[in-house]
Structure 1
């Protein structure tokens, strides 16, 4: 898969038995539809997490094309936070810029998200000082 931000090839990594696409150049993460729910160990049909995203039109952030259908992704705000991610209009998946998946996992914490946060920190050496850069 090609990164929607920097057009580099992405690698596939396994987080909590879920294959995610990771860009080694920009540190972005692509999750196919349903993979966020799988990371949280909840039933995708419940669609609990998807209900927490609302489309926003007032963001001055560059929009990217979905790596699957190439349609321009929509900016979606997560719950009542300031976290804005890119969501495919055809519901193919979600794009997380560097550190955004970690922020989402922190905001929507459960036992699965804590395990994934630990994996992210180990795999990508995420820490608060890097996010400030």
Structure 2
């Protein structure tokens, strides 16, 4: 596999038994499908170790907005999207295999945005209070009591049926 930015070979490294592919030429890293979640927490040893290791290969790239091809799916162009609703870190993601490419320094930015579990719980609670369902009650409608009326109508039909049978 080759680095999508520099076209140099990627080096496979296992960080806490999770394989990632790094580019020693530009400091970028490729995560296979769903493995980025193992490195996004800044307090996790695995995430710190990878960020520290990548920082030694930091280099400036000409144009980060340039679209790149997936190293795993060679004929597939990766999509550019924001990783979080804060729109702070833009990542490259393969629509075919789900691999994610982070350019130099993006892992540290991503880790700096992650909240601790306590902060997430507080934010979740505040959002739930802010977005509680609102109950809307309208004016009563003249047909709201139809169920009671139908009982009366059924009784009326029963009486009419009884009377007509008797004749």
Residue 92 (structure 2) aligns with: 86
Q: Residue in 1 aligned with 2:101? A: 95
> 1:21 matched to which residue of 2?
21
Asked if 1:106 is matched to 2:109, the reply is no
TM value normalised by structure 2 = 0.50
The count of corresponding residues between Structure 1 and Structure 2 is: 93
- Give the corresponding residue for 1:118: none
Work out the CA distance in 2 between the residues paired with 1:22 and 1:110. 27
Segments ≥4 residues shifted beyond 6 Å: none
Structure with the largest fraction of helix: 2
Scaled by the length of structure 1, the TM-score of the pair is 0.62
How big is the alpha-carbon RMSD for the aligned residues of Structure 1 and Structure 2?
Answer: 2.1
Specify every segment of 5 or more residues in structure 2 that has no aligned partner in the other structure, as ranges: 42-63, 118-167
More strand by share: 1
Q: Does the Cα contact within 8 Å between 1:68 and 1:92 map onto a contact in 2?
A: no
Sort the Cα spacing of 1:37 and 1:27 in 2 relative to 1 into closer, same or farther, 3 A.
same
The alpha-carbon deviation at position 91 of structure 1 amounts to 3.5
- Rg comparison, structure with higher value: 2
Q: Which runs of 5+ in 1 are unaligned?
A: 42-59, 112-133
